[in-house]
Amino acid sequence: MNQLAQLKQFTTVVADTGDFQLMKQYTPQDATTNPSLILKAVQKPDYRPLLEQAVRDHGAAGTDAVMDALLIAFGCEILAIVPGRVSTEVDARLSFDTEATVAKARHLIALYERRGVARERVLIKIASTWEGIRAAAVLQREGIRCNMTLLFSLAQAVACAEAGAQLISPFVGRILDWHKKQAGDKWDAVANAGDNDPGVRSVRQIYEYYKKFGHATEVMGASFRSTGQILALAGCDLLTISPELLEQLAAGEGAVERKLSIEQAQSANVARVASDEPDFRWQLNEDAMATEKLAEGIRLFAADAVKLETLIDA
């Protein structure tokens, strides 16, 4: 078997793309999207009709209505391909507003349900700020399942699990990016590869914590830079992978070894982490990488949302 087929024996594979035509090649279980991926997709001729249709049908209701309709259109197209779930993201500009995040998530789910899509097939993506996590706690109680994104630290992961979030998406590649930038010329690529990759270590730590203390929240590694990072997390609950890396895995012939398991995690030496608001904010503050990458990620997603609105209004 190729490496992708072997990986699927240990881990649920998710397609990280807005290009649903590419999904058909790799038969993922689920798919994730975000404003950046949707922006990239609608600039291709194959997907431009979805944008044009959303503008025709909802333009009179304003840009926000068109944006929401476009997200749902992509989600429905994706759900016609994957057997599982699609993740649809709340506007990053709402990341520090709990009430607005809850309202937007309810609206998106209502739009899906009007299209005949059960809420069980949708994950609402929310940034892992304190306000976003509180929104997830409300939504989960209503049966609206949440995918907590822009997650870079154990403190965020613990707070998400205790809020009852369905799934978290720790960003492996962006953690690596930060450490490489900090190290500069002193970065040792060989010493920090595989199991020693800082992004891989972060996800392993979160996975072990969840399994050790019985948290049901799913762990989905995200934002990969190489197949090496992916294979170092074989056995994680889910891994969301770009089409480029899916293609490399499908062409890879080496053996894939399971790296993470519940049994191994339950025997790990792991200490409990406090997760009330003061502890959360202090731990995040003390983690320069997580603080900086969370803020940067929100800014980037917000900027791409603005670019998408500009296309809508053109």
pLDDT per position as a tens digit, 107-162: 999 999 999 999 999 999 999 999 999 999 999 999 999 999 999 999 999 999 99
In this prediction, residue 33 carries a pLDDT of 86
* Lowest-confidence pick of 38-52, 186-200, 282-296: 38-52
pLDDT of residue 257: 97
Does residue 18 carry a pLDDT above 90? no
- Helix ranges, the chain (H): 3-10, 20-26, 35-42, 48-58, 63-79, 98-114, 130-141, 154-162, 172-183, 198-212, 227-231, 243-251, 262-266, 277-286, 288-313
Query: CA 212 to CA 114: how far, in whole Å?
Result: 40
∠ CA 173-175-177, nearest 5°, is: 70
Whole-number Cα distances in Å, 155 to 215, 278, 285: 14, 11, 10
Domain extents in the chain: 3-313
Q: How far apart are CA 177 and CA 191, in angstroms?
A: 15
Residues in CB range of 85: below 8 A, 6 or more apart: 30, 31, 120, 121, 122, 123, 145
- Both tokens of 257, joined, read 């070894």
- Give the separation between CA 45 and CA 61, rounded to whole angstroms: 25
Q: At what angle do helices 277-286 and 154-162 cross, to 10 degrees?
A: 160
Query: Any residues with CB less than 8 A from the CB of 15 and at least 6 apart, and which?
Result: 22, 23, 26, 28, 30, 31, 32, 82, 240, 241, 243, 246
How would residue 20 be classed by pLDDT, with cut points 50, 70 and 90? confident
Task: Provide the pLDDT for residue 22.
Answer: 81
Phi, psi of 219 (to 5 degrees): -105, 120
Region 33-50: what's the mean pLDDT?
Answer: 90
Both structure tokens of 59: 């333009």
Q: Taking 90 as the threshold, does the pLDDT of residue 314 lie above it?
A: no
pLDDT at 215: 97
User: By percentage, how much of the chain surpasses pLDDT 90?
Assistant: 93
Average pLDDT estimate for 198-202: 98
The share of the chain scoring above pLDDT 70, in percent, equals: 100
Q: Is the pLDDT of residue 21 over 90?
A: no
Per-residue confidence (pLDDT) for residue 193, from 0 to 100: 95
Residue of 8, 104, 125, 259 marked catalytic: 125
Mean pLDDT of all residues in 54-75: 95
Greatest Cα-to-Cα distance within the chain, rounded to the nearest angstrom:
58
Is the distance from CB of 238 to CB of 167 less than 8 angstroms? yes
The residues near 253 (Cβ < 8 Å, ≥ 6 apart) are 2, 3
Checking phi first, is residue 143 left (phi over 0); if not, alpha (psi -120 to 50) or beta?
Answer: left
Q: What is the pLDDT of residue 211?
A: 97
Q: Looking at residue 12, what is its pLDDT?
A: 97
C-alpha count within 13 angstroms, C-beta hemisphere, residue 139: 36
Helix (H, G, I), strand (E, B) or coil at 129: coil
What is the pLDDT confidence band of residue 290, given thresholds at 50, 70 and 90?
very high
Structural contact between residues 190 and 162, judged by C-beta atoms closer than 8 angstroms: no
Residue 125 a catalytic site member = yes
Nearest-5° Cα angle at 171, 255 to 295: 165
For domain 3-313, which CATH number applies: 3.40.47.10, 3.40.50.300, 3.40.449.10, 3.20.20.70? Answer: 3.20.20.70
pLDDT confidence of residue 35 = 83
**pLDDT confidence bin for 94, thresholds 50/70/90:** very high
pLDDT digit string (tens) for 234-273?
999 999 999 999 999 999 999 999 999 999 999 999 999 9
Distance CA 157, CA 215 (A): 10
